[in-house]
Amino acid sequence: MTVQQLDLKTMLTEIGRAGPSISGSTAALVAAQLGTAMVRMALAVSHKHGSDTDLLIEGLDSILSEIKNATEKDRAASSALIDVYRQDSNEEARRSALVDATREPLAARSLAC
pLDDT digits (tens, 9 = 90+) for 38-82: 999 999 888 777 777 888 899 999 999 999 999 999 999 999 998
Summarize pLDDT for 13-31 with one digit per residue, the tens. 988 888 888 899 999 999 9
Q: Is 14 domain-assigned?
A: no
Q: Is 29 domain-assigned?
A: yes
* Cα distance between residue 9 and residue 39, in whole Å: 23
Q: Is 48 domain-assigned?
A: yes
Predicted TM-score (pTM) of the model is 0.82
Q: Is 8 domain-assigned?
A: no
Q: Is 86 domain-assigned?
A: yes
* Cα distance between residue 47 and residue 84, in whole Å: 49
Q: Is 16 domain-assigned?
A: no
* Cα distance between residue 25 and residue 38, in whole Å: 20
Q: Whole domain around residue 35: which residue ranges?
A: 22-112
Distances (CA, A) of 111 to 21, 28, 94: 24, 13, 27
Q: Is 30 domain-assigned?
A: yes
Domain count, the chain: 1
* Cα distance between residue 17 and residue 40, in whole Å: 31
Q: Is 3 domain-assigned?
A: no
